[in-house]
């Protein structure tokens, strides 16, 4: 008989659990309630401004701590497309958002609430049938992690294998399109996004990404592909897929014991350098050799084993095939940047559609100056700890954000490559590693 257990105290588990609204009507109701709450906050704030003899401004009334907290909490409660849209907005347009909004949306990149026991039981019955207990010797009801699409549980299969099982939140897959439409309408109504920034490409990409991440058969396929691609590289471990215990609402894989990647920061310097170098080299292999990349740089997708330095790779729902055109375009960009060839750099940026066509010369110079800041870091072994590259890039990005002619969201492939590389930079900075970037890049130039 299966043992249902929990590693977390019942009091703490209850405080972190919250039911996911599973029907479209319930999810629309949550969004409607959020809009009503925001409108009420605006009305009260506007009345107070009038009493003070001030002319109310909609953007100032919306960008209050109360309203921003209300937005972030509601999106986190809904999970699914609503939470993912907040994540994308905070990561892809952060330099153009008001700081208050960027800070609040950044909270959506943290762990979500998880399902309460009753809802979890319903999900297990949907995935495995009413007799789901017969498939397991044990199942920990408190998840290892909870995110926007689903949550992960530790379990032991009937045959004794230790497993990690990802369970999808109920109703999330069917509500993706309506959720995105509702969130986009709310954002447009609120005026929180910069006027003139075309959200269309971002919405289309969020829609595609969410449908792909909600397809657990697809993720199982890429999990197996990455395991095969890296089978001879002992620096990495990829879980083994269990298709017999997987389906539309559940993805089962071998459990791989490891520590959170953030704990690497306390390891000896050579170990830190080894792990971050391995991850950067893997990204280059994904781009130029595999033409297949896991594009989500969330720290939770990487774990490590202190005794060996081996990195455990997790979560392949955001895996993307890389076209030859995009791969070669980035190779050209890398070569041009390393050789400080501004004309070739601009040609490569245009080819990749990083920038709008027909930009004025002074705007092109602004973009090239920012690119050179990044390429300067690649001319010698790079010390992440204490480096001010991020501050320089952020300041330049905020300057660009004030120029409406430069507002542009690149194509999906380029956008997610950029996100992956940016995520690795943040990880290297958090860990405090030193990486010989010229040596790694030279293999692909």
Record the tokens describing residue 240, joined without a space.
């083994």
Cα–Cα distances in angstroms (integers) from residue 141 to residues 65, 123, 169, 370, 439, in the given order: 35, 12, 14, 48, 46
Catalytic (active site) residue 376: no
Residues forming a β-bridge with 435: 382
Among candidates 137, 194, 196, 185, which has minimal Cα distance to 5? 137
Options 179, 249, 273, 296, the catalytic residue:
296
Record the tokens describing residue 70, joined without a space.
């209300």
d(CA 91, CA 423): 10
Which is it for the CA torsion 114, 119, 125, 126, positive or negative?
A: negative
Give the DSSP per-residue string, 309-354: TEEEE---TTEEE--HHHHHHHHHHHHHHHTT-HHHHHHHHHHTT-
d(CA 130, CA 127): 9
Among candidates 213, 185, 194, 183, which has minimal Cα distance to 72? 183
Q: Which helix (H) or strand (E) holds 46?
A: helix 24-51
Query: What is the DSSP code (8-state) at residue 219?
Result: H
DSSP E strand boundaries for 326-442? 382-383, 434-435
Q: Which positions are annotated as active-site residues?
A: 296
């Amino acid at each position: 008989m299966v043992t249902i257990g929990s590693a977390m105290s019942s009091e703490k588990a209850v405080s972190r659990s919250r039911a996911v609204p599973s029907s479209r009507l319930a999810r629309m109701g949550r969004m409607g309630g959020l809009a009503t709450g925001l409108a009420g906050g605006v009305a009260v704030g506007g009345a107070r401004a009038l009493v003070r003899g001030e002319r109310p401004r909609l953007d100032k009334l919306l960008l209050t701590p109360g309203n921003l907290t209300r937005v972030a909490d509601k999106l986190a409660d809904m999970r699914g497309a609503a939470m993912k849209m907040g994540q994308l907005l905070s990561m892809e347009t952060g330099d153009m958002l008001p700081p208050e909004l960027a800070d609040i949306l950044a909270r959506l990149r943290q762990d979500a609430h998880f399902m309460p026991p009753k809802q979890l039981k319903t999900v297990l019955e949907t995935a495995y049938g009413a007799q789901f207990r017969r498939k397991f010797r044990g199942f920990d009801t408190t998840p290892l992690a909870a995110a926007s699409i689903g949550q992960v549980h530790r379990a032991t299969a009937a045959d004794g294998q230790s497993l990690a099982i990802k369970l999808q939140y109920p109703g999330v897959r069917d509500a993706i399109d309506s959720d995105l439409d509702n969130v986009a309408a709310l954002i447009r109504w609120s005026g929180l996004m910069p006027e003139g920034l075309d959200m269309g490409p971002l919405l289309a990409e969020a829609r595609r990404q969410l449908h792909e991440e909600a397809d657990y058969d697809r993720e199982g396929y890429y999990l197996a592909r990455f395991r095969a691609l890296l089978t001879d590289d002992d620096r990495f471990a990829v879980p083994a897929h269990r298709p017999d215990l997987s389906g539309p609402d559940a993805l089962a894989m071998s459990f791989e014991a490891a520590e959170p990647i953030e704990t690497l920061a306390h390891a000896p310097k050579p170990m830190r350098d080894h792990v971050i170098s391995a991850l950067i080299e893997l990204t280059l292999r994904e781009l130029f050799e595999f033409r297949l990349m896991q594009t989500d740089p969330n720290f939770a997708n990487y774990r490590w084993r202190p005794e060996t330095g081996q990195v455990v790779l997790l979560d392949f729902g955001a895996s993307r095939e890389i076209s030859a055109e995009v791969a070669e375009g980035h190779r050209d960009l890398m070569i041009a940047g390393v050789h400080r060839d501004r004309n070739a750099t601009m040609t490569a940026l245009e080819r990749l559609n990083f920038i709008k066509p027909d930009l004025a010369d002074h705007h092109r110079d602004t973009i090239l100056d920012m690119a050179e800041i990044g390429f300067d870091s690649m001319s010698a072994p790079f010390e992440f700890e204490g480096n001010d590259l991020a501050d320089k890039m952020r300041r330049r990005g905020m300057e660009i954000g004030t120029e409406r002619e430069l507002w542009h969201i690149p194509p999906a492939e380029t956008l997610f490559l950029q996100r992956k590389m940016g995520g690795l930079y943040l990880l290297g900075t958090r860990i405090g590693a030193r990486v010989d970037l010229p040596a790694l890049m030279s293999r692909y130039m």
